[in-house]
Structure 1
Amino acid sequence: MMKVVLVGCGAMSRQWLDAARRIEGLAIAGLVDLDAARAEARAREYDLTNAVVGTSLDAVLD
């Protein structure tokens, strides 16, 4: 299983997340955006309940 973190949760992130869902063996482990509410909303939208959400890539990777 390959885990990835999506950096940036703006409009384009929907296309990235849709594509990621189609890749076997890929899991979205985290979402990062300067706007925490936007990252949290995208996680809810895509039912990423196990994803770490934050405003700092370093913090999400820890």
Structure 2
Amino acid sequence: MYSHEIEEKLKSENYYIDSDTYSNICYTSQQISRVKYDPFNNDYNIWTNDNYHWTFKIKPRGEE
């Protein structure tokens, strides 16, 4: 998955994705350079080698 595709997916989901989408992003994008979970805000951050950065949340099971 390319960075612009990740950008489109996150925007279309209002930066609130399910865990399957998160797994798909992580496993199919070779451009990801860093992933971080922030437990205080309960959000995730992804950075890529081509200077993209996103902050998003993952839906709890059952809300998917």
Tell me if TM exceeds 0.5: no
Instruction: Name the TM-score, length of structure 2 as normaliser.
Output: 0.35
**More strand per residue:** 2
**More helix per residue:** 1
Q: Which structure has the greater CA radius of gyration? A: 2
Instruction: Name the TM-score, length of structure 1 as normaliser.
Output: 0.36
